[in-house]
Amino acid sequence: MDFQCKSTRGKRSEKWSGRVKQIKNFGSHYEIWIESRSSIFVIFGKTSRGYFACMPDFDAGCHLTDFQDVFWNTEKLTKVLGKVDGITVAAALKMLSDTKALA
């Protein structure tokens, strides 16, 4: 599943594409493999306090809000992954939510 990413800073914007190459539903959580400017393995799911995402290859994780809230999720993910990878993961989660792939 393909998706688009965008970073805007002032009047300048940058766009790139990404692709969710694999998705696995384990019932209590999901695993996805994203290919974009880098490859990112993401484990995510829901807890009693909201959603979470972990990126074990980056030794990173954080709490998220609803997957539709790209602004909040991007803020949290860029703090632990860096700008490009944080934007990429937030965009992938929104796309998966939009397409109802997270059933």
pLDDT tens-digit profile of 55-73? 999 999 999 999 999 999 9
Half-sphere exposure at residue 35, Cβ-oriented, CA atoms within 13 angstroms: 5
Whether 36 shows a pLDDT value over 90: the answer reads yes
Q: How confident is the model at residue 9 (pLDDT cuts 50, 70, 90)?
A: confident
Q: Is 18 helix (H, G, I), strand (E, B) or coil?
A: strand
Cut 0.85: pTM above it:
yes
Tokens describing residue 78: 């860029």
Beta strand pairing call for 12-25 and 29-35: antiparallel
Average pLDDT in the 91-101 region? Answer: 92
